Amino acid sequence: MTGKVYLVGAGPGDPELLTLKAHRLLSQCDALVHDALVPRALLDLTPEGCERHFVGKRRGHHSVPQPSTNAVLVELAQRCRCIVRLKGGDPFLFGRGGEEAAHLVAAGVPVEVVPGVTAGIAAPAYMGIPITHRRAGSSVTFVTGHEELDKVRPAVDWRGLARSSDGLVIYMGLHNLRRIGEELMAGGLDPATPVAVVQQGTVRGQRELVASLGDLADRVEAEGFESPAIVVIGRVVAERVPSCAPLPASVEMPIPF
């Protein structure tokens, strides 16, 4: 028997942002392979007897190597009918979903992607920030900020981004925030550019900060912001409408492990 693997987006944290398709698959799966940034409320949707496998990756914690995750998925497909690979946010946005899909196809395992709501859209929305706006930004760039900036050839050209995009949404960027800010300003971005940080967006423990690019790193450090967090840089932050922001869900993330 060869089962089917579903690469499912768990959304940004608030369980009510889970898609209907994801809910259906979770309620009928034989096996669940999940990341760290998934609220327990979603795990509890699985039926009795469902196998659960944790394969999360978090900075500063033990991480399951990607080849091990790939092997788990292939092995489960040999004996289970419906396997849900549950990933925080959207599986194809900084989630290694493309890598896992390619590996499964090469191994002869049927696979289907189920998109999810990404934190880069939802977390700013829970502050009332639109990531595009007719007056303030017609383009936005989603970028990962965890890469070490002192590499000989870094993959992200921050100075180029300062000149080419109306707004930036940065994932996993707190560790390098000071250097990122320096590079953006060196690329011509005004130190007065409005910025926002959302920690634990959409769930209990959500924290918010609005600042300027020039003092962002100092403010984040002084106020003790931690990952997981989304950083928004651009004039759209000034278009914030706090009264439209939803209340964070009364769940916690990431799950204890």
Active site residues: 35, 57, 172
Those residues whose C-beta lies under 8 Å from the C-beta of residue 35, and which sit 6 or more positions away, are: 10, 55, 56, 57, 86, 87, 88, 95
| Cis upstream peptide for 130 (omega within 30°) | no
The C-alpha atoms of residue 126 and residue 83 are separated, in whole angstroms, by 31
Q: Which of 84, 23, 79, 9 is nearest to 53 (CA)?
A: 84
Bridge partners (DSSP) listed for residue 168:
141, 233
Residue pair 221/109 in contact (Cβ under 8 Å)? The answer is no
Q: In terms of DSSP H, where are the helices of 149-208?
A: 158-164, 177-186
- Tokens read off for 121: 């859209």
Find how far residue 20's CA is from the centre of its chain. Answer: 20
